[in-house]
Amino acid sequence: MRYPQFMEYPKTLLEAIQYFSDEQICIDAVAAMKWHDGKVTCPQCHAKEPYYLARQKRWKCRKCHKQFSVKVGTIFEDSPITLQKWLPAMWLLCNCKNGISSWEIHRALGVTQKTAWFMLQRIRLALQRDNTHKLGGKAGGPVEVDETFVGPNLRKMHRARRLKIQAGECGQTKAIVMGMLDRDLRQVRAKVIPNVKREVLQQEIIEEIENGSTVYTDGYPAYDRLGTVQEYVHETVNHVEEYVRGEVHTQGIENFWSLLKRGLKGTYVAVEPFHLDRYVTEQIFRYNNRATKDNPLQDSDRFMLALSQVSGKRLTYAELTGKVSQRPEVF
């Protein structure tokens, strides 16, 4: 079978549902993204050119005689859900600005809510990308750095629980997310961090931002001496007195926080801190691949990008629920 590198994909959700209603078309689409050179490879012995079993819609290796489907080695592996349901779910998650809940996927695709939640978590894993370069430097511009707290609102809690939290009986109630925005590249990076101590925040900046770059933060004391330690050009804005001082502000990363919290509070309602990193990754993917004048992406472009990242990633239910540790990704 032949898998062209560039296939004509649908542009809208309606076209996508109609286009991916045929199982063979779904297999061809995933195969084209998985094997970019068009040569199917056995996942067991890595032999080339297995023969295709058309009735079973899978391949059989000529060397080791093992059979395998296009799902093997992807986020779809060991899933009884057909690709006709997987691909529209991926389309929706990539293109719904505030995300889409597992309950909506359950109603739209006819799967259980538990299955829909597991599907969405797998897709979020596919949206994750390794950062090959640092922000700022010659290739980028000034970088805004900020952190935010994600969790319950004390004012809207039951009085008994609020008193327990205020008394320190419930431990830490909010998760902390740290983010960085390169103004010129218009790219965001964010992750959940354990605390807001100086060594944690500054170590993240050192790992993600090129030395010598311009860094804008608020007046939080943990960012002090950032310019003297790593030669960053560090400017701060005191939010007690002002929010913008010329070019010095953190309004760009604040905009990302508003998008993130709108999805978490409005669509997902309650997210466990254990899973929060994947929801942050989902919002980063949509933000970094949004349509701009310089880069007019469409829904199909975001879907194609996500589909090209499904290979080499695996997430089992035991790993998702923390019963076993997650295995490293294979690229």
pLDDT by residue (tens digit) across 14-32?
Answer: 999 999 999 999 999 999 9
> Distance between CA 279 and CA 123 in Å, rounded?
11
Q: Which percentage of the chain shows pLDDT scores above 90? A: 71
**28, part of any domain:** no
Residue 261: the pLDDT is 94
Q: What is the pTM of this model?
A: 0.90
321 in any annotated domain: no
Check which CATH number belongs to the domain holding 212 and give it.
Answer: 3.30.420.10
- The pLDDT of residue 330 is above 60: no
Share of the chain above pLDDT 70, in %: 95
Which residues, 6+ apart, have CB-to-CB distance to 134 below 8 Å? 208, 209, 210
pLDDT at 171: 56
Compare 183 and 6 and report the one with higher pLDDT: 183
Residue 239, in any domain of the structure:
yes
Asked if residue 320 has pLDDT above 60, the reply is yes
Region 168-193: mean pLDDT is 88
Those residues with Cβ within 8 angstroms of residue 174's Cβ, 6 or more apart along the chain or in another chain = 149, 150, 151, 152
Whether residue 212 is contained in a domain is answered as yes
**Domain contains 21:** no
In which domain, by residue range, is 240 found?
143-274
Establish if 106 belongs to a structural domain: no
Whole-number pLDDT of residue 154 = 78
Number of domains in the chain: 1
Radius of gyration of the chain (CA): 23
In a domain, 326, yes or no: no
Q: What is the mean pLDDT of the chain?
A: 90
pLDDT of 110 higher than 80: yes
Confidence band of 248 (pLDDT split at 50, 70, 90): very high
Q: Which two tokens stand for residue 189?
A: 């990076």
